[in-house]
A and B are shown apart, each in its own frame.
Chain A
Amino acid sequence: MELDPLLLSRLQFAFVVSFHAIFPVFTIGLASYIAVLEGLAYKTNNPVWSTLSRFWTRVFAVVFGMGVVSGIVMAFQFGTNWSNFSYTSANFLGPILSYEVVTAFFLEASFLGVLLFGRDKVPPGVFLLSAILVATGTFISSFWILSANSWMHTPAGVEMRGDLLYVTSWAEAIFNASLPYRFTHMVLASFLTGGFVVAGVSAWYLLNGRETSANRAALSMTLWLLLLIAPLQAWVGDLHGLNTLEHQPAKISAMEGNWETRSNVPLLLFAWPDQEAQSNRFELGIPGLASWILTHDVNGTVPGLDQVAREDQPPVWLVFWSFRIMVGLGLLMIAAAVTGLILRRNGAVYTRRWYLRSLTVMSLTPFVAVLAGWFTTEVGRGPWLIYGIMRFEEGLTPSLQGWMALTTLIGYIVVYAMIFTAGLYYLMRILRDGMESQPHSEQEEAPAHRAKRPLSAVDVPLEEGAR
């Protein structure tokens, strides 16, 4: 079999970016949660809030560290595998990606250190401010990276001269058409991720009867948050979809599995899209609903894949099903939040074991939903790397051979699997260790000569029973 460097490079990028994405999507949500906890602690002086904040800051430290390690590779992938893409788009993407890095450094060099190590060394007000600024920094960082990504979907403010893109308007390029929707959708996804992980872990502690008062408080407040955010996300997702319909109709057609332009398009619950035949097999759908969602009229006309030449169509099967996984999990999250509201009477929400168990399992769903969402939007952009400007194969490194791409693909999988196993194992140790063993003051355990670095903020030994 001929090894295809294009396919292998795409697989490698998908693997590296998917692996990396699960860390920041969690830390962005968690940073805001910690800031809220610190705000409550500052205002009420109730020890519950600072107990929770200390615990979640330790989790934050480990996950942030793993995000940084896995992110380093990203900064080089653009050059190693996609050098033509980098060469053509460097005038815009270079400064934008640099600003992302610069923001992250600025954040790490300053307020993260205070958040992780300064609890008893700076005044409470300064500490609260640091927590807020760390959370703000994560938003600014994701703003830059999503601006770059959105620009690849809805490029603007640039002009091609020869084989190079030149920026004609920084404002138009940075604040391109899909950025506001993508950014909002992603921030809410981060909140959902942070919220469901906190809810799931709190539920697990409650099942085991540990630190009941703190974990009840945590569960209660996250369930209120999720009750607000989960439905809101569905609405924002809908707006994002309408924006995509305007700028990338082919992606919407693939998401809906809609092959022909017509009115009264059904919302398909199940189908087997067949790209060869340019039609679906085994369709099961609700008549007119897709038309209604996209045009707010049951008889509205929705563009189909017949508008797009075959070679310009994204792989429909993958987009169709990723989208359904994302939406399905989103609905499940709404259901979980609403169930929590119903169980609040008599405080059953803290004691019903089936509910607490489902919440524990649910803590994984946002990660899957986020990845499915990214697959929908990124695969749906195909075959375009920069929509309408550059195709995947045009962006590839010309000197790259199949076996080289395969070697590094396997290499990165091995490296990441080892790191991930160690990291996940360690995270589980922290969770099992729980809040009870936390020192009440950093001074009694912190040696003076300790690194001011995320993972070093955590003192749990690596192996079982080695304390």
Chain B
Amino acid sequence: MDSMFDLVPIWAGIIGFGIMMYVLMDGFDLGQGILFPFARNEEDRDIMMNSVAPVWDGNETWLVLGGTGLLAAFPLVYTVFLPALYLGVFVLLAGLIFRGVAFEFRFKARTSKYLWSWSFSVGSILATFAQGAVVGSYIQGFETENFRFVGGAFDWLTPFTVLTGLGMLAGYALLGSTWLILKTEGELQSWAYRITPTLLAMVIAVFVAISIWTPLMDPMVQSRWFDQFSLIWLLPLGALLSMAVLVRALMKRQEGLPFVATMGIFVFAYLGLAASKLPYIVPPNYTLWDAASAGESQLFLLIGLLFVIPFVLMYTAWTYWVFRGKVKAGMGYH
């Protein structure tokens, strides 16, 4: 209908970028909550939480922006994913609310501190698992009819999505532990060095399992990867290379590189997923173009976003700059 201008690729880029930003940034702070029960003592937990306290809410703004951005640019994604993941969305939101509130009150609490620690940890784990289930649901596809979801209440909770949920837990925990290597020192940093190889092994296990399972489940994915040798094989190669870099950096006890390499694993896995599924955004039936809103609606919002996104990026960069350096015990406490 709008042959004059096609904003769908631009919007796909914006939303894709937003989701990537969210996964990388909220990933390492959700990771702190996942690692919380395994931390050695309460003092370490304080430092872990403090290392992400100044930035976590900025990280979550990408999620809200992504939610409303999808409604504006790709409404079909919004109106199929949310009903299909109805109970999962509740788990995700309840988890995020509990851990968000825990951030504030744990710092102010004395006698009830342990309650807020639990709230932070359980909230983070639930929210992460739910996000993994969203990814799994996307890969396995949705039962739709005439642009509406017509499947069941637990379609999102299958052995496959449980696997992706666990994979997300391992992945965010890995982001969290390499973040701690970057941001802490002494005993806590040594602990982070110790647990990182285990977490990496778990991530690799899930990565391999999903990579075998997905083409078996979806003929389209199978033909894309195996019909003829194509350049998309560079993406898993990039992920493997990032893993190798991570292992080497851990052995050399480097501080910054492990986190960067972990982000590399995520980016390549994410691009690999996109290469497997796009342009299908509500698989198996609907493409980005089927899911898109009217061209004039996409344009109307694009104007505002082009103005705001650079500003949000600048602010984000500035916050990370202000809070750069190692986090020490007692910092940020009163």
Q: Footprint of B on A, CB under 8 Å?
A: 65, 69, 72-73, 75-76, 78-80, 83-84, 86-87, 90-95, 97-102, 105-106, 108-110, 164, 166-167, 170, 397-401, 404, 407-408, 411-412, 415, 419, 422-423, 426, 445, 447-453, 455-456, 458-463, 466
Contacts of A110 in B (CB 8 A): 311, 315
B287 at the interface (CB under 8 A from A): no
What would 10 more interface pairs be, CB under 8 Å, given A97-B68, A397-B86?
Answer: A72-B64, A75-B64, A79-B83, A83-B149, A90-B71, A98-B68, A106-B311, A109-B311, A408-B87, A451-B57
Would you give the 0/1 interface string for B93-115, flagging 1 where the beta carbon is closer than 8 Å to chain A? Answer: 11011101101110111111000
Given contacts A94-B68, A422-B101, A408 and B332 within 8 Å (CB-CB): no
Asked if B20 is at the interface (CB within 8 A of a chain A CB), the reply is: no
Interface residue ranges of B99-137 to A (CB < 8 Å): 100-101, 103-105, 107-112
Nearest 8 Cβ contacts at the A-B interface: A79-B82, A94-B72, A90-B75, A455-B104, A95-B301, A83-B79, A109-B315, A94-B71
Q: By the criterion CB–CB under 8 Å, are B149 and A101 in contact?
A: no
Contact in complex: A426, B105 (CB < 8 Å) = yes
Whole-angstrom CA separation of A401 from B154 in the bound complex: 12
Chain B positions within 8 Å of A167 at CB level = 294, 296-297, 300
Task: Enumerate 9 A-B pairs (CB-CB under 8 Å) in ascending A order.
Answer: A91-B297, A94-B68, A94-B301, A98-B305, A106-B308, A400-B86, A447-B334, A461-B109, A463-B111
> Are B109 and A69 in touch, CB under 8 angstroms?
no
Across the interface, A408 reaches (CB within 8 A) one of B68, B86, B150, B311, namely B86
Of listed A73, A170, A399, A401, residue having the most chain B CB within 10 A: A399
Is the Cβ of B151 less than 8 Å from the Cβ of A86? no
Contact status A87-B75, CB under 8 Å = yes
**A459 vs B108: C-alpha distance in the bound complex, in angstroms?**
7
Residues of B within 8 A of A463 (CB): 109-112
- Shortest C-beta distance, A133 to chain B (Å), equals 14
Count, A-B residue pairs, CB within 8 A: 205
Question: Quick one: closest B residue to A429, CB to CB?
Answer: B108
Closest-by-CB residue of B relative to A447 is B332
Nearest to A102 among chain B residues (CB) is: B308
Using a CB-CB cutoff of 8 Å, which residues 290-308 of chain B contact chain A? Answer: 293-294, 296-297, 300-301, 304-305, 308
Chain A residues, CB < 8 A from B332: 447, 449-451
Q: What's the minimum C-beta distance from A20 to chain B, rounded to whole angstroms? A: 12
Asked if B69 is at the interface (CB within 8 A of a chain A CB), the reply is yes
> Which of B73, B100, B150, B319 touches A452 (beta carbons < 8 Å)?
B319
Return the contact of B71 from the options A69, A98, A447, A453 (Cβ within 8 A). Answer: A98
Q: Which of A80, A99, A412, A456 contacts B83 (CB 8 A)?
A: A80
- Chain B residues with Cβ below 8 Å from A69 are 97, 100-101
Contacting residues, chain A, for B232 (C-beta < 8 A): none
Assess the B109–A462 pair: CB atoms within 8 A: yes
**A42 to B105 alpha-carbon distance, docked (Å):** 33
In whole angstroms, what is the CA distance A69 to B101 when docked? 8
Asked if residues B82 and A83 are in contact (CB atoms below 8 Å), the reply is yes
- Are B323's CB and A76's CB within 8 A? no
Report yes or no: B79 in contact with A105, Cβ–Cβ below 8 A. Answer: no
A411 and B104 in contact (CB under 8 A), knowing A78-B71, A90-B72? Answer: no
Q: How many residues belonging to B are interface residues under a CB distance threshold of 8 Å? A: 70
Prevailing SS type, chain B contact patch:
helix
Question: In the assembled complex, which residues on chain A have CB atoms less than 8 Å from the CB atom of B61?
Answer: 105, 108
Kindly state the separation between the CA atoms of A397 and B81 in the bound complex, as whole angstroms. 12
What is the bound-complex CA distance between A72 and B109, given in angstroms? 24
Contacts of B93 in A (CB 8 A): 72-73, 76
Within the complex, what minimum Cβ distance (angstroms) separates A108 from chain B?
Answer: 8
Nearest-CB distance from B73 to chain A (Å)?
Answer: 7
Closest residue on chain A to residue B81 by CB atoms = A79
The closest CB in chain A to the CB of B314 belongs to A109
Chain A, Cβ-Cβ closest to B302:
A95
**A residues within 8 A CB of B55?**
451
Minimal beta-carbon separation of B233 from chain A (angstroms): 36
Contacts of B68 in A (CB 8 A): 75, 94, 97-98, 100-101
Q: How far is the CA of A411 from the CA of B293 in the complex (A)?
A: 32
B50 at the interface (CB under 8 A from A): yes
Asked if A404 contacts B69 (CB within 8 A), the reply is no
Q: Are B105 and A422 in contact (CB under 8 A)?
A: yes
A309 to chain B, nearest CB (A): 28
Using known A-B contacts A398-B149, A399-B148, A426-B105, determine if residue A407 contacts B300 with beta carbons closer than 8 Å: no
The yes or no answer to B312 lying at the interface (CB within 8 A) is: yes
- CB pair A460–B108 under 8 Å, yes or no, is yes
In the complex, whether B215 has a CB less than 8 A from a CB of chain A is no
Please give me the residue from chain B that is nearest to A83 by CB atom: B79
Q: Are A80 and B89 in contact (CB under 8 A)?
A: yes
B163 at the A interface (CB under 8 A): no
By a CB distance below 8 angstroms, the chain B residues around A412 are: 90
Decide if A404 touches B104 in the complex (CB within 8 Å): no
Is B327 an interface position by the 8 A CB rule?
yes
Query: Is B71 touching A93 in the complex (CB atoms < 8 A)?
Result: yes
- Asked if A400 contacts B83 (CB within 8 A), the reply is yes
A404 — which chain B residues lie within 8 A by C-beta?
A: 86-87, 153
Is B225 located at the chain interface by the 8 A CB criterion?
A: no
Do B86 and A80 touch across chains, with their CB atoms under 8 A apart? yes
Closest to B73 in A: A94
For residue B25, CB closer than 8 A to chain A, the reply is no
Considering the chains assembled together, what is the distance between the CA atoms of A164 and B1 in angstroms? 14
User: How far is B115's CA from A463's CA once the two chains are assembled, in angstroms?
Assistant: 13
B174 interface residue (CB < 8 Å to A): no
Quick one: which of B65, B293, B311 contacts A90, CB cutoff 8 A?
B293
The answer to whether B98 and A415 touch across the interface, beta carbons within 8 angstroms, is yes
CA distance A167 to B64 in the complex (A): 24
Taking CB atoms, residues of chain B closer than 8 Å to A449 are 50, 54, 323, 327, 331-332
Report which residue of B65, B79, B109 has the largest number of chain A beta carbons within 10 angstroms of its beta carbon. B79
**Residues in B whose Cβ lies below 8 Å from that of A86:** 71, 75, 78-79
B76 within 8 A of A: yes
- CB atoms of B294 and A166 under 8 A apart: yes
Question: Of A73, A97, A170, which is within 8 A of B300 by CB?
Answer: A170
